Amino acid sequence: MATSGQRGGFNSKLGFILAAAGSAIGLGNIWRFPYSAGENGGAAFILVYLVAVVFICMPVLFAELAIGRATQKSPVGAFEQLAPKSGWKFVGGLGVLTGFAILAFYAVIAGWTIGYVGKAVMGEFSNMASSEAAEAVFTALSGSPWYSTALTALFLALTALVVRGGVQGGIERAAKVLMPIFLVLLVGLCIRSVTLPGASEGLSFLFKVDFSKITLPVVVSALGQALFSMSLGMGAMITYGSYVSRKERLPGAAVGVGLADTVIAMLAGLMVFPALFAAGGSPDAGPGLVFIAMPSIFHSLPAGSVIAVFFYMLLAIAALTSTISLLEVVVAYFVDQWNWSRRMATWGVTFACFLLAIPSALSGDFLGFQSVLFGNYALSIGALLICLFVGWRWGVAAAVAEIYHGLETRPLGGVWSALVRYVCPVVILGLIVAIILNSVFGLGMTF
């Protein structure tokens, strides 16, 4: 079932779903989603997030997968094929650059999760009884140049080992092993969290919508979070789509990926907030939530240090299946466009990425800057351009034919077309304007 030629491809639809869901499910779900929801009013944020997933992100996901599968090429080659001799290939190029840059800060945070697995195994969580103590531990780890850089290098090396193995032998195989482990850990931790005494406060924070909390900053954060969480706007899904055989039916697989990402984000909320409220923590701890607020909770839980080991393993696994997809976008570019061997592309890109990661490993400010520039700006600009390309250049008719290839009917084909042509571009443009205004005038939105 693999696609023909040198490129390789996923062996089965399930393999694709697991790998693409693995890309989508990452630190975005377990680290960023809970703190964004926590800072932005809980249930109100989640409601807007769900609307954004259905009406904006799902259409963009279909657009990216259609481009990839139609061309069987990674982003630059794909745009070149669908719009020869035009500037559109730079949209692919922007995606490759964005993937490279996201990997360079994402791997730093991912490295910390491994550091925390180590701390949990060594029983160091007993030093984190108060959140001040936990903060001191976090600052020591993230502020230690050598430790932070070494953990980043370790994480990048793990990623490279998988990507080096190719689409089937590396990415698909890793996803098939890692995703089930991930799910078992997550469900186990959720059950623990919601059965704690005092958990109900966390549940109502998550599910009781206070409509007055739906403000512009909440909408902007939720939409940005949804795009990032579904790995959209930089061609990761174009690349993964290019490894799907045309014998497979795309719609079901795409819905599976979007659903998995969303359900996992909700479960992450169920894992974090009941435990947080039960321990008297506050939800608006920001980016330090899982590294500072959670450790002091583990301390107060029965068998907390065992739970902590599982929790940080869960984060590390989620991060790994995402860094794999980020690296794959860049590697596929060099393999497809420059005819590099996979081995050379993998190690070359990984090394270059490590160099760019060093400043982020050394400075939280640089990391934050990279995250805004690439995680917010570049992804939203990429998503906008992808919609414009599919809606107005390549054309929705061709895209619909690709999406529904092999099916007799085309349910929602018209709705999708309208969303990609009009609704998504307008809304995503609004998002871009809002984040620019926020950067320039400091409107206090946090992403």
Interface residues with ligand PHE (CB under 6 A) are 23-24, 26-29, 102, 228-229, 231, 234, 236, 322, 325-326
Shortest reach from residue 318's CB to ligand PHE, in Å: 7
Residue pair 243/1 in contact by the 8 Å Cβ criterion: no
Q: Whole-number minimum distance, CB 94 to ligand PHE, in Å?
A: 13
Least distance to ligand PHE from the beta carbon of 71, Å?
Answer: 19
Q: Which residue has the tokens 């270059």?
A: 352
What distance in Å separates the CA atoms of residue 297 and residue 199, rounded to the nearest whole number?
Answer: 13
Q: Let me know: does 343 contact 164? Beta carbons within 8 Å.
A: yes
Q: How far, rounded to the nearest angstrom, does the alpha carbon of residue 116 sit from its chain's CA centroid?
A: 20
DSSP string covering 183-230: HHHHHHHHHHHHTSTTTHHHHHHHH---GGG--HHHHHHHHHHHHHHT
Which is nearest to 264 in space by CA: 211, 207, 315, 298? 315
* Closest listed residue to residue 328, CA positions, set 247, 251, 399, 234: 234
- Of the pair 102, 332, the CB lying nearest ligand PHE is at 102
The residue among 29 and 346 lying less far from ligand PHE, judged by its C-beta, is 29
* Angle separating helix axes 396-403 and 58-71, nearest 10 degrees: 80
Tokens (6 digits) for 44: 């109100």
Collapsing DSSP states into helix, strand and coil, what is residue 375? helix
User: Of the candidates 294, 220, 228, 239, which has an alpha carbon nearest to the alpha carbon of residue 261?
Assistant: 228
Shortest distance, CB of residue 409 to ligand PHE, whole angstroms? 31
Cβ proximity to ligand PHE: between 265 and 278 the closer is 265
- In this complex, which beta carbon is closest to ligand PHE, that of residue 131 or of residue 322? 322
Structure-block tokens of residue 54: 């259905």
CB of 35 to ligand PHE, least distance (A): 13
Nearest-angstrom CA–CA distance, 335 and 21: 24
- The residue (of 32 and 89) whose beta carbon lies closer to ligand PHE is 32
Identify the sign of the CA torsion 383, 216, 294, 128: positive
Spatial CA neighbour of 114 closest among 402, 311, 351, 326 = 311
Nearer CB in complex with ligand PHE: 105/416: 105
- Give dist(CA 102, CA 7) in Å, integer: 24
235 and 306 in contact (C-beta within 8 Å)? no
Nearer to ligand PHE, 305 or 325 (CB): 325
Using N-to-C axis directions, what is the helix angle for 145-164 and 131-142, rounded to 10°? Answer: 70
Residue 43 or 320: which CB sits closer to ligand PHE?
320
Minimum distance from residue 107 beta carbon to ligand PHE (Å): 11
Phi, psi of 188 (to 5 degrees): -60, -45
Cβ 392 to ligand PHE shortest distance, Å: 24
CB of 323 to ligand PHE, least distance (A): 8
Q: Between residues 23 and 152, which has the closer beta carbon with respect to ligand PHE?
A: 23
Shortest Å, Cβ 297 to ligand PHE: 22
Nearer to ligand PHE, 28 or 115 (CB): 28
Smallest distance from the beta carbon of 198 to ligand PHE, in angstroms?
A: 29
